[in-house]
Structure 1
């Protein structure tokens, strides 16, 4: 089992104030970019504050324009020495590389000789342990729902069925409004007859910029029934979102992204006896539609909101296939 690295502590405001003035200035300027998503900016801000703390502690608090590839390698080695995953190191490396690129392009008049400190000669960290991609089968999903029903966990059931049904990400599930329980079936524009699914309001999907890619999610009667059951149990409150945290006083607030992770880790995984994570529901939907039901991958691509079916193929895991059969 791979060792889990201790999470680097976030930079405090007192620590931040001690950073070189240019590093503070360029970080604030860099984070004003409108073409990056809010989630990306949040990740970059955290990663760069951690980087500048390393610069303060280990690199004499030099301004970024005086740093060299040697410092970049030192930082990468520092991260790897903490047993950070390769994806975690790459994210922090990408943040530093991005702000260096920003200086090269937009501050070149002031620093014409500056070059990105993460050049091609600094190798990427080797791939670390990765969990096996194993989607949930239809039978496993039924078992999970059955057990949660016994526990009266109706919000969790609504989340699983809606996320699986629509093939959405956790960040998209989080945006869903409880008003979708009042939706009618989508009507065929040619015949006027009801189709067998509903459409949500517009949600922000994964994409560049503050707005990102906006789309509506499709969901079936199975999800609708679970949503109505959850709202019946939930009762009246002022929160407009479907998935919420309720206090003992009955107040409700929009559920955080980390809450979905907690459900998967502390509830779903223990029921299933193996690792379950939010994105697995999306991958399971793609796999089950293509591998079990034989659906056209182009239609599955549209459900998941992918621009290319090549992306959708990455989600589909077909067990039992062996690439070397024809060699024997």
Structure 2
């Protein structure tokens, strides 16, 4: 069953109904310039929903007048709405961060205020999630062959680049068209490697700048990228959009929206007869195939995915536990 969502707060309600002081606190918190654009959007939505809840169910009180019992009431309300555990935890975390901000910077005005989400408020139990089933190389090749048959070169470039790098949706979105001109990587000693390296890309990480890093990709991905760029030039000769993955409108090409990749993956799913495919699955598939099928060292995969710890990389590796049972019996 699909997870439910809470309706977004309208600008009209925000501007006319929400407590002015609460609006001031929330807007000042959001204007700290410490959040990435994507995270800022999520925080804005979450805190507006909280402000509306305070209006609807807590007499539109000033947030510094709220108590831990109000935090519990809010969390229970979120649970009653049928949200996933991850959605509830994010909304809880957003309010908690706002409270920490008030506690730190408004201490003169509210010396007795403390974060309403104390340790006494129980965390939400993790929702049952579908088993993560990585894509095998046979399945990835099946998708690739079908895309070649359709001459869908952009999706083919996305498939091989995203799988080769193990990058996330927003990271693929930032890839510049110029990479098709790159030569194979050379190390500090001048030795030519059998892979290519991208320009700097903002990866997932704390703060507005996130974690800036470069991604490595193989020859198969480069060949697909070059084919897509060649096709692009035929379609729009004066193409000046710098991004590799694009949508076409009457004015030419523009950078794709993140949701476009989700739509492409739904098409990949149909090619595989309905097996669930989503952008993040390529990351787990890359890790699993490299470690389990190819026998690569977990440290090498850790470096590929940009993790600080190999323990994080292990989360992405799906192993067949029946092999261990075979050894036991």
For normalisation by structure 1, the TM-score amounts to 0.93
- Distance (whole Å) between structure 1 residues aligned to residue 263 and residue 171 of structure 2: 17
Please state if 1:245 is matched with 2:244: no
- Distance (whole Å) between structure 1 residues aligned to residue 25 and residue 310 of structure 2: 39
- C-alpha displacement at 1:208, in angstroms? 1.3
Does the CA-based 8 Å contact 1:204-1:212 persist in structure 2? yes
- Distance (whole Å) between structure 1 residues aligned to residue 93 and residue 326 of structure 2: 40
Does the CA-based 8 Å contact 1:298-1:309 persist in structure 2? yes
Per mean C-alpha deviation after superposition, the further-off stretch among 270-279 and 83-92 is 270-279
| Partner of residue 138, structure 2 | 139
- Distance (whole Å) between structure 1 residues aligned to residue 146 and residue 196 of structure 2: 27
Match of residue 209, structure 1, among 207, 210, 214: 207
| Partner of residue 180, structure 2 | 181
- 5 Å-filtered alignment, 1:217-296, equals 217-235=215-233, 236=237, 237-247=239-249, 249=250, 251-264=252-265, 266-272=266-272, 273-296=274-297
Does the CA-based 8 Å contact 1:37-1:207 persist in structure 2? no
Secondary structure of the residue aligned to 1:44 is helix
- 5 Å-filtered alignment, 1:57-96, equals 57-96=56-95
Structure 1 residues 104-134: Cα deviation after superposition (integer angstroms, max 9, x where no partner): 1221121111121112222222221212111
Unaligned runs of 5+ in 1: none
Shift of the 5–314 alpha-carbon distance from structure 1 to 2, 3 Å rule, reads closer
Does the CA-based 8 Å contact 1:5-1:82 persist in structure 2? no
- 5 Å-filtered alignment, 1:8-87, equals 8-17=6-15, 18-87=17-86
Secondary structure of the residue aligned to 1:214 is strand
Does the CA-based 8 Å contact 1:161-1:222 persist in structure 2? yes
| Partner of residue 169, structure 1 | 168
- Distance (whole Å) between structure 2 residues aligned to residue 250 and residue 327 of structure 1: 64
Structure 1 residues 54-88: Cα deviation after superposition (integer angstroms, max 9, x where no partner): 11111111110111222222222222112111111
Unaligned runs of 5+ in 2: none
CA RMSD in angstroms comes to: 1.7
- C-alpha displacement at 1:263, in angstroms? 1.7
For normalisation by structure 2, the TM-score amounts to 0.93
Shift of the 122–322 alpha-carbon distance from structure 1 to 2, 3 Å rule, reads farther
- Distance (whole Å) between structure 1 residues aligned to residue 297 and residue 111 of structure 2: 53
Does the CA-based 8 Å contact 2:4-2:84 persist in structure 1? no
- C-alpha displacement at 1:219, in angstroms? 1.0
